[in-house]
Chain A
């Protein structure tokens, strides 16, 4: 009797390995497959890293031949700081951009983290009327990215006299409404989830001592939340450092510009190779801080993002 063989594309290998092959062959197939996966992943990882290698290497090539082919992937003996020197000597205030970016990202981060941490604590640990309704209301902001309210936001900032001032980006951050690219409720949610995991007993002791609510928050909750607060800070700092959209709308004069907007303003249509070398140098400088922090605290950053992502 010839039964029709039922082989579907995903079952065939299982049958082969389960029935016909000796254990040695199976082990070899498994090893081969693992090796293949390593190679494919390795090629993928190379694609991820290559643009950065190309950028840093190109920024160190002599300007005249920076873009000649074949491309270089590692700095060679002819490395020079010409691109950087030209950038610093040009009338582009790259130092100013750098300073503005640093001040802006730091201020927004401090304000956002403080406001969302204390709000997250209240939503997790205190009882007050309409708590859940208010929290649900805040969740609405997840659906309202600033791209959807751009025009009124601009008019509001103009009315407040904040256009072309760092305050136009700092103030929404300080109030925990949103940081660039990140709604405020993200931080509140993240901190709330953390404070919910703390055992009740910790707070009951404080209650017996009749400690004020702020003192309880400050001296019991905040120290325990250290790693979580640090993780949130890194996320908000990076997002603010990288953001282009808000500064594009709100900061127009060269004095106020941050790195992403500044780089866009000096970018030349490709072809003028000396100016483009300066752009490559400026981008390298902008990425360098993120890269350094990542190299130092890689595991911790990856774990933080993983936790934040799961909960947020």
Chain B
């Protein structure tokens, strides 16, 4: 049996053709799936956004009418504002707290305690959002809720967590941070473990305080991880849906309604399929921009060793 030199031959030598065929065959299901369920629908979203379609009568071409309608749609701007508000605080809370937790748990401490803490902080990330949101809906109740009960003990008046326009979105943010902070912590921990101990030894010799070490060593060296977390959390935050459906169903009024809830309602309750597609494109644009920013920043700003 001879070993065939691969370097010189093109794709079409018998051995290489075999490899080419195998390679294409192995990726075929994923490629076809991508074409049918990702790329196709993406293109179709663009086409549908130019249509008026209610599922029952045949679609008609309306040009840019859906986009013009978007500009005048007060509710759309309201839900977009809500979603952005949610994204800013949920992402800041998740990433900020996640990194702090990772740093605190990375100190010298008993291994058992460390693992127990990590497990406790991480476990909510594994549980379905619908399930935990149902639990929190009870905890947030004004009169029978556990949270207000304990606030009452320290003399705080009952808070209308879910039924006041001012608080509703904050309650969703609290739930989101509780649920997802452990995941950010875990990713940040992995990032921390790849930072060389030498930096910290040098800092200790210099007598640097913990806070200063955190800002001047940990944060810069962790910046690729932080950037990754910011991107993933931002894209995730703009898709916020389940927690709001359970906690407030968008209310009171539209005060906590999110972009995806609005798309869902337009498409599947009012059957404005074309208009829903046009709004979907807005969401798609946001995720593309966020990803592009990450891509650009990861080349420039993030500090790689």
Contacts and interface: CB of A to CB of B under 8 A. Distances in A.
B99 interface: no
Interface in B205-264: 207-209, 211-212, 215, 235, 239, 241-242, 245-246, 260, 263-264
Contacts of B107: 34, 37
A126 B24 CA distance: 9
B29 A176 contact: yes
Interface string B274-305: 00110011011001100100000000000000
A127, A217, A299, most chain B CB atoms within 10 A = A127
Contact of B122 (A121, A175, A209, A302): A302
A143 B291 contact: yes
Interface stretch (A63-71, A80-88, A89-97, A224-232): A63-71
B187 A184 contact: no
Given A71-B149, A149-B45, A188 B30 contact: yes
B118, B120, B189, most chain A CB atoms within 10 A = B120
Interface residues of A, number: 106
Contacts of B281: 148
Given A142-B291, A156-B41, A287-B127, A151 B48 contact: yes
A1 interface: no
B174 to A, nearest CB: 10
Interface string A77-119: 0000000000000000000000000000000000000011011
Nearest to B24: A128
B212 A10 contact: yes
Contacts of A55: 135
B96 interface: no
Contacts of B207: 14, 17-18
Given A123-B27, A286-B131, A176 B33 contact: yes
8 contacts: A45-B120, A69-B149, A119-B27, A151-B48, A177-B34, A213-B22, A283-B135, A310-B187
Interface of B: 1, 3, 6, 11, 16, 18-20, 22-24, 26-27, 29-34, 36-42, 44-45, 48, 101, 104-105, 107, 109, 113, 115-132, 134-139, 141, 144, 146, 149, 178, 182-183, 186-187, 189-191, 207-209, 211-212, 215, 235, 239, 241-242, 245-246, 260, 263-264, 267-268, 273, 276-277, 280-281, 283-284, 287-288, 291
